[in-house]
Amino acid sequence: MLKVEIDSFSYGDKSVLKDIAFTLNPGEHLSILGESGCGKSTLLHLIYGLLHLENGRISYNQKKLLGPTHTLIPGEPFMKLVAQEFNIMPFSTVGENLSSHLSGFDQQKDGERIDQLLETVELEAFKDTLVKNLSGGQKQRVALAKALAKAPEILLLDEPFSNIDTFRKNKLSRKIFSYLKSNNISCITATHDSEEALTFSDQIIILKEGKIQISGSPEYVYQNVSTPYQAGFFGEVNMLPENLFNDEKTSEVILVSPRQLKISEEWTKLEVKVKNSYFKGNYYLIESLYGEEILFFEHPKKIMENTQVWLKHV
């Protein structure tokens, strides 16, 4: 089990992480959601052992990980980190990049392992291609395969599919995370992709300015977001007075997702003017104005601009 307890971490006078605590069991997948600069990459670098942690403790199977000040080569041997800067050899072939992480004692066994890895990241046809001739997305897949070569116990992924087109990314993420589960490899992914996090994670942590905002299962996090920042990872969000939907005289503001608002045939307190209709496949996301505030709701059909409608909470 990986146990992370970070009281604080700073670059000079700049605080980057504070009060971070979580555990990760074998085979579990944790996604860390957060905006750019919130500390996601720094957290992965601390766990891997590239940065020294003065105030806190990171341990694996109850043994403290000592970090770069106590190791000749930074990085824990049972972990692999796929950073945003790919650790690949551009003037070697894809196959040679993978073989550099294998034993070399049994060429037939290594060859079979390389073929398995190439199949996992869908690069079978590029085995003999120089890495420098690949696209950015293909290079990212080489880095993923290289990290898996020695079957790490923990895999750390920093925006692992950022350079891969959506069509291939969906299929590839299913294959990669299924591979990790079937081989009982723990995984921590730093990402801003909430759909990926909800689909494949056992746990989600949302970070803001280096602090944990909310954590738990994907279901728990999705159903218990409490701020616009948290809710914003899962789509548009509206902040509305609660008394719009009842007869209370409270001034409390609540978060309401677009799917919770529907057009009402009868008068309601929430009258809006339609501004735009965005086609989303099986529904339209309607952008409207409530006074001077932007408000979003979902509707099965496109609505003409400037149409006035009443909305109800469902």
Based on the domain organization, do 267 and 150 belong to the same domain?
no
What pLDDT is attached to residue 303? Answer: 98
What is the Cα–Cα distance from 211 to 60, expressed in whole angstroms? 22
What pLDDT is attached to residue 86? Answer: 79
What is the Cα–Cα distance from 199 to 216, expressed in whole angstroms? 14
Write out the chain's pLDDT in tens, 314 residues: 999 999 999 998 999 999 999 999 999 999 999 999 999 999 999 999 999 999 999 999 999 998 898 877 888 989 999 988 778 888 999 999 999 878 777 888 889 999 999 999 999 999 999 999 999 999 999 999 999 988 899 999 999 998 888 888 889 999 999 999 999 999 999 999 999 999 999 999 999 999 999 999 999 999 999 999 999 999 999 999 998 988 777 778 999 999 999 999 999 999 999 999 999 999 999 999 999 999 999 999 999 999 999 999 99
Based on the domain organization, do 15 and 83 belong to the same domain?
yes
Parallel, antiparallel, or unpaired: how do β-strands 203-208 and 29-33 relate?
parallel
Q: Total domain count for the chain?
A: 2
What pLDDT is attached to residue 17? Answer: 97
What is the Cα–Cα distance from 111 to 206, expressed in whole angstroms? 40
| Structural domain that includes position 101 | 2-227
* 248-282 core/surface letters (b: 16 or more CB in 10 A; e: else): eeeeeebbbbbebbbbeeeeeebebebbebeeeee
CATH of the domain at 86: 3.40.50.300
What pLDDT is attached to residue 113? Answer: 92
Based on the domain organization, do 147 and 33 belong to the same domain?
yes
Based on the domain organization, do 25 and 130 belong to the same domain?
yes
Can you give the pTM of this predicted structure?
A: 0.88
Parallel, antiparallel, or unpaired: how do β-strands 293-299 and 55-60 relate?
unpaired
Answer for the pair 56, 6: CB distance below 8 angstroms, yes or no. yes
Report the Cα–Cα distance between both ends of the chain, in Å, rounded.
42
Alpha-carbon distances of 233 from 18, 119, 155, rounded to whole Å? 21, 32, 24
What pLDDT is attached to residue 164? Answer: 87
Based on the domain organization, do 90 and 65 belong to the same domain?
yes
Sign of CA dihedral 23, 196, 190, 126: positive
Closest CA to 227 of 254, 191, 209: 254
Q: Which residues contact 248 (CB under 8 A, 6 or more apart)?
A: 242
What is the Cα–Cα distance from 274 to 278, expressed in whole angstroms? 11
- 74 falls within a domain: yes
Based on the domain organization, do 169 and 245 belong to the same domain?
no
Beta bridge partners of 267: none
- 232 falls within a domain: no
- 7 falls within a domain: yes
Based on the domain organization, do 260 and 161 belong to the same domain?
no
Answer for the pair 201, 216: CB distance below 8 angstroms, yes or no. no
Based on the domain organization, do 307 and 205 belong to the same domain?
no
Q: Which residues contact 249 (CB under 8 A, 6 or more apart)?
A: 243
